[in-house]
Amino acid sequence: MQDATSDERLRPGAGEELVFDATPTLAHKPTHYCPGCHHGIAHRLVSEVLDELGLAERAILVASVGCSAFSYDYFNVDAVESPHGRACAVATGIRRARPESIVFTYQGDGDMAAIGLAESVHAANRGENITAVFINNTVYGMTGGQMAPTTLLGQKTTTTPLGRHLLGEGGPIHMSEIMGGLAGVAYAERCALDSVKHIRQAKKALRTAFSCQMQGLGFSFVELLAGCPTNWHLDPLKANRRISEEMIPVFPLGVFRDVREERKQSEVQA
């Protein structure tokens, strides 16, 4: 690693200000993720939001299984590794036992939308006061590119070599829409990580989700459309383009639930 203290270039010179650097909650170690993987961006956004809201000291991460299994290594917050898919159930326990803490899960699509669908949906429906960060890259990344519940129709994976077919394997599952329809959910938004504009929006969504938890409004959910260049067999730039060209038409971006807005409107009407 480069030693930041010994290199003049890494410090602001006369008349300069440092406008972008790693935030303290993001551990300063290289990640194991593949080149162009968007997990790194999601990690950074979550860390920045925790630092900006001053939550890092009382935040507890519930890590999942998948490529994000090692996410506890990359956040400088307390963390619990949960069994596959059970992050929302573990987070429920932690949040109820330690109500002063800020609890968030970080899960991929195989973890949250497949094996852990029951735990996630029921935690959301109970209105557990936790935040779930859901990474949707339409594929099982760590195990080598098998079909996930979010895999697009026609997409080739190692378990759908002819492309996913609606009558054989079903269609892509829309988690934000499902979450947005549940009574206990305070906030549900889908964002993408493919462009600077979308990344800024994603950070705003994460900030709203964590502030909903701070206010005790219920379950907050942010879905992030992310790229997996390795298992899509594309280079990172083409993978980015695939998000905007193929994923966003199927998974439209936007807010699917915001109880703060609903309350505001009911106040206006009353």
Partner 1 sequence: MSRIVFLEERCKGCRLCMEACPAQIIRPAGRFNRQGYEVMETEGRCTGCASCALMCPDTAIRVFRDKSGGKTA
- The residues that touch partner 1, with contacts defined as CB under 8 A, are 1-2, 9-10, 12-13, 15-22, 26, 30-31, 33-41, 44, 195-196, 199-200, 229, 236-237, 240
Least distance in Å: CB of 203 to partner 1? Answer: 9
Nearer to partner 1, 46 or 123 (CB): 46
Least distance in Å: CB of 205 to partner 1? Answer: 15
| Eight-class DSSP state of 219 | E
Least distance in Å: CB of 12 to partner 1? Answer: 5
Of 209, 39, 43, the C-alpha closest to 132 is: 209
185 alpha carbon, distance to own chain's centre: 16
Least distance in Å: CB of 3 to partner 1? Answer: 10
Least distance in Å: CB of 66 to partner 1? Answer: 17
**What whole-number distance in Å separates Cα of residue 187 and Cα of residue 132?**
10
For residues 124 and 114, the answer to whether their CB atoms sit within 8 Å is no
What is the SS3 assignment for 129?
Answer: coil
Q: Which amino acid is at 205?
A: A
* Whole-number CA gyration radius for the chain: 19
Q: How many CB atoms lie within 10 A of CB 111?
A: 33
Nearer to partner 1, 21 or 262 (CB): 21
Least distance in Å: CB of 34 to partner 1? Answer: 8
**What whole-number distance in Å separates Cα of residue 40 and Cα of residue 46?**
10
Least distance in Å: CB of 21 to partner 1? Answer: 5
DSSP 40-62: HHHHHHHHHHHHHTT-GGGEEEE
Nearer to partner 1, 51 or 177 (CB): 51
Nearer to partner 1, 38 or 242 (CB): 38
The Cα-based distances of 204 to 67, 73, 159, 189, 211 in angstroms read 24, 24, 36, 10, 11
Nearer to partner 1, 18 or 97 (CB): 18
Nearer to partner 1, 12 or 161 (CB): 12
For residues 41 and 199, the answer to whether their CB atoms sit within 8 Å is yes
Nearer to partner 1, 1 or 270 (CB): 1
What is the SS3 assignment for 190?
Answer: strand
Q: Which amino acid is at 115?
A: I
